[in-house]
Amino acid sequence: MSTLAVAIQTKQWELASLCLLMGIVEAAAALPPDAVEGLLEVLAGLEGEDTRPRGGPRSFDRLPGRAGRTGRGRRR
């Protein structure tokens, strides 16, 4: 089983995010230099959208009713 799969199965979210980040870095390293800027725009979700300042109501979770939440912890 891959490190990413184990991290997800055991809910080790920091490790899972590091695994995903490593995959993105490896993919970006294989791209031509002029394509990296486009990749960063896609990853940031800025392609075809107006840019907005961070920390707004949609800063973490794009689902309605969950804006501004990181997804950690349980709702009480």
- Please write the tens of the pLDDT for every residue from 31-63: 888 888 887 888 788 656 555 555 555 445 455
pLDDT of residue 7: 97
User: Are the C-beta atoms of 68 and 59 separated by less than 8 Å?
Assistant: yes
pLDDT of residue 3: 96
Nearest to 68 by CA among 55, 53, 52: 55
Q: What are the sequence ranges of the domains in the chain?
A: 1-30, 33-70
| 2-28 mean pLDDT | 95
Share of the chain above pLDDT 70, in %: 59
The answer to whether 68 touches 55, Cβ cutoff 8 Å, is no
Q: Model confidence at 5, in pLDDT bands (50, 70, 90)?
A: very high
